[in-house]
Amino acid sequence: MSKRKDRRNAGQAFESVVAAVAPRDEEADDAPFFAHDAAPVSDDVLAASPDLSRVLTTQNDGRRELTKMKRFRFQLLHQWICENVPPSCRVADIGGGKGLLTYLLNQSGFTATTIDPIHQTLPAKYKDLTAGRQVRIAETETVSRLDLPFAPNMARDFDLLVALHAHGCNIALIDAAARFGKGFLVLPCCIIDEPLRPPPGMHWLQCVAEYAKGKGFAIKPFRLNFKGQNIGLYAAARPGGAG
């Protein structure tokens, strides 16, 4: 690549980092860095990070980018967990909302529990991506739930702490995983109510990855094929952790 092209790419990457971390409301001191519905991290930002660039694939023309995105985040995350985590794992689905991820994991032999302070019932139906059809969930079906905000001690009863766009829980979850020797899987979205902010020039996702590495975790980043904040960070329990 020519030096000029290199400089242009670096400039574009810098612009997207600045745009991603800039507060939306400049009048508010504590304005969010980006909101739930903000554009996901750009390919340039990912490519510039040694940790996160592994989720990109090389296209026919040599460009490294994410492939076309779809919906169905719960189904896609369920699939990823089934392919990468043993079903003997007890999973806490923190900020799990209606509990669909928990439901799907339980169907696959995991023991999963939703932890979310706002009680919600399961959705009436979901799309089974493998069969390509809608599946109904009976009104009588339930999942195990703790209708409470996540608290560190809750981690004791699980092997893997999962947070799919869990509000304000990412850092607390990593701390709890480190303290109790558990694995974790986070797909961070907004930074609102998190206890730390990235230094200037660093994206929130990179900041979460750095924080977890600082706690001694080996991070495995992955990307799911849905629209929105779709980059996940997975870490198995640290060897010799508290267990």
The tokens for 153 are: 């001690």
Instruction: Name the minimum Å distance from CB 204 to ligand SAM.
Output: 15
Is 124 a residue that touches ligand SAM (CB under 6 A)? no
Give the Cα separation of 67 and 59 in Å (integer).
9
Is 169 a residue that touches ligand SAM (CB under 6 A)? yes
Instruction: Name the minimum Å distance from CB 218 to ligand SAM.
Output: 25
The tokens for 124 are: 């009436």
Is 173 a residue that touches ligand SAM (CB under 6 A)? no
Judged by CB under 6 A, the chain residues 82 through 121 that form the site for ligand SAM are 94-97, 115-118
Judged by CB under 6 A, the chain residues 206 through 235 that form the site for ligand SAM are none
Single out the segment in contact with ligand SAM by CB under 6 A; choices: 16-24, 135-143, 167-175, 235-243.
167-175
Give the residue ranges of DSSP H helices in the chain. Answer: 3-21, 43-47, 73-84, 100-107, 170-180, 204-214
Judged by CB under 6 A, the chain residues 145 through 164 that form the site for ligand SAM are 149-150, 164
Is 44 a residue that touches ligand SAM (CB under 6 A)? no
Count the Cβ atoms, other than its own, within 10 Å of residue 142: 12
Give the Cα separation of 177 and 236 in Å (integer).
10
Which of 80, 47, 39 shows the shortest CA–CA distance to 66? 47
Judged by CB under 6 A, the chain residues 58 through 87 that form the site for ligand SAM are 73
Instruction: Name the minimum Å distance from CB 151 to ligand SAM.
Output: 8
Q: Which of 41, 49, 81, 167 binds ligand SAM (CB under 6 A)?
A: 167
Rg (CA), the chain: 19
Give the Cα separation of 111 and 123 in Å (integer).
19
For residues 94 and 77, the answer to whether their CB atoms sit within 8 Å is no
Closest chain position to ligand SAM (CB) = 95
Question: Given the rule CB under 6 A, which residues bind ligand SAM?
Answer: 36, 73, 94-97, 115-118, 149-150, 164-169
